[in-house]
Amino acid sequence: MNSKDAEELLERAEALYRDHRLQSVREWKRRSGGLAVGYLPIYIPRELLHAQGVLPVGLMGGGDDLEVIRGDSYYQSYICHLPRSTLELGLNGSLDCLDGMIFPAICDVIRNMSGMWKMLFPDKLVRYLDLPQNFDREIGGKFYRRQLEELSQDMVALGARPLEEESLRRSMAIYNENRRLVRELWELRREEPWKVPASEFYLILRAGLVLAVEEHSRMLENYRMHVHADPGRKPMDQARVLVTGCFCEQPPLGFIKTLERAGCYIVEDDLVQIHRWFHRDIPLEGDPLENCIAAFLEDAVASPTRYIGDQEKGRELVERARRSGAEGVLFCAPSFCDPALLDQPMLVAAVEKAGIQWTGFKYTENLGQFQVIREQAGTFADSIRLWSGV
């Protein structure tokens, strides 16, 4: 892949990121005649939808270039921004190509939103996907199985084909491959962060929310080829940081670029977390649905939206910091995000106990001013570079 191809790849990824009207999804539907169903962050089992011929379309709000007018009128001022912009997109017709919406259980805001969607869009399928908080296979596992079976029946009612074991196994293999490609780039970024700038990687991951998984895997492969071949990607004197808290509403792209320009290499983060929801591949042998359930119960990341006993809070964060060689942690949470902000004191305590430096910001997806962030992140990066280990 030459540098012009790479430039085009990144331009396409950015165009998809800014494509609120989901033109790529509309084209996919025209080409395939299939169904497309939207989902809110953080995680849904996309394999199931894929196995039934449905395109899962990840929605992460409106970013910084959507003017929210009507969406604001449905919410009080003290909640996060993502539901307002998502509602705006629904009300202005941007999402009308979606045949339904899935609202995974991650917080009260998303739960309430599923009810609002039902009232506002009565002709569309709305499914609240209740995710288990008990991780015993006999309890949470059985509960989750029922949820997935109901989800699959919903897809059939929309006109999708029934879920069959063999097609689910095939779809799981395709998603395993996709996650493996993401993990490879992830690891390359840990090793040589100058080769995989976080702002580029983020756009590639965002593209994976709207493209068919097969096309996204090709994009990941092409990007990987490019970063290996590009001689212009040279190391600089930057501080290695882990960015956490941004698992749902995403910061604007300018925020990520600002951290990089302020002297940070982002070597680990929570952005677009669905691509890294599992630590390992989901096994394909045996009952595929049961394997999806077991992976959710036993192999998912330690998210603030999953129950974790107090003693363990922060353990995985510290392990991630150690594994990635992060010299500091940036707590970056959306304003008014209960799951992120309620966990933060426990996570800060774990990070401090491990002797890792940290600082914190809050953001909204439509944040327009980055000067303060630049100064704070720059000072933090300088303090790591100049004084850590002194």
Q: Applying CB under 6 A, which residues contact ligand SF4?
A: 80, 82-83, 106-107, 109-110, 248-249, 334, 337-340
Q: Which residue has the tokens 């490019």?
A: 226
Between residues 288 and 334, which has the closer beta carbon with respect to ligand SF4? Answer: 334
Q: Quick check: helix, strand or coil at residue 104? A: strand
Mention every residue, 6+ apart, whose C-beta is less than 8 A from residue 39. 56, 57, 58, 59, 101, 102, 103, 104
Q: Closer to ligand SF4 by CB, 223 or 255: give it.
A: 255
Min dist. Cβ of residue 39 to ligand SF4 (A):
13
Nearest 5 degrees, angle CA 118-CA 246-CA 89?
35
Least distance from ligand SF4 to the Cβ atom of residue 215, Å? 27
Report the nearest approach of ligand SF4 to the CB of residue 101 (Å). 14
Compute φ and ψ for 77, nearest 5 degrees.
-75, -20
**3-class secondary-structure state, position 383:** helix
Tell me how far apart the alpha carbons of residues 291 and 148 are, in angstroms, rounded to a whole number: 12
In the complex with ligand SF4, which residue's Cβ is closer, 82 or 259? 82
User: Toward ligand SF4, which CB reaches closer, 75 or 380?
Assistant: 75
Closest to ligand SF4 by CB, 172 vs 333, is: 333
Contacts of 252 (CB under 8 A, 6+ apart): 63, 64, 363, 365, 366, 367, 368
Closest separation between CB of residue 294 and ligand SF4, Å? 25
Q: Which is nearer to ligand SF4, 82 or 172 (CB)?
A: 82
User: What's the rounded Cα separation, in Å, for the pair 273 and 244?
Assistant: 11
Least separation in angstroms between residue 309's CB and ligand SF4 is: 20
Write down the least CB distance from residue 249 to ligand SF4, Å.
4
Alpha helices in the chain (DSSP H): 3-18, 23-32, 46-51, 82-91, 108-120, 142-158, 165-191, 198-210, 213-229, 253-261, 288-298, 315-324, 338-353, 371-387
* C-alpha to C-alpha distance for 197 and 178, rounded to whole angstroms: 20
Q: Which is nearer to ligand SF4, 110 or 271 (CB)?
A: 110
Closest CB 62 distance from ligand SF4, rounded Å: 13
